[in-house]
Amino acid sequence: MINTALKPLSVIKSGATVKVARIDAGKGLNAKLASMGLFPHVKIKVVNNGHPGPFVIAVKDSKVALGRGMANKIIVCDV
């Protein structure tokens, strides 16, 4: 059975690849994130879960740093 349970990106371990399910951000921010390649259905890889600090992910070939708060707002599921 495929595990499709939803969880915030912040709990994902470094090195894991997950799929974005939804992003609970404001409207403007949603569009900005989309323009950086970060939007639902996209696969992302957690490069560095810098717990308790910020977070680095790889999306579409580029590395993006996210604050902890942001990583909590991105809801992901297993690929």
- Closest approach, Cβ 76 to other proteins, in A, equals 15
Instruction: Report the alpha-carbon distance of residue 17 to residue 43 in Å, rounded.
Output: 7
- Other beta carbons within 10 Å of 70: 19
Residues that bind other proteins (CB under 8 A): 22, 25, 27-37, 39-42, 47-48, 50-54, 56, 60-70, 73
- Closest approach, Cβ 48 to other proteins, in A, equals 6
Residue 8, preceding peptide bond in cis (omega within 30° of 0): no
Nearer to other proteins, 18 or 73 (CB): 73
Nearer to other proteins, 1 or 57 (CB): 57
Nearer to other proteins, 18 or 74 (CB): 74
Among residues 25, 24, 57, 20, the alpha carbon closest in space to that of 40 is found at 20
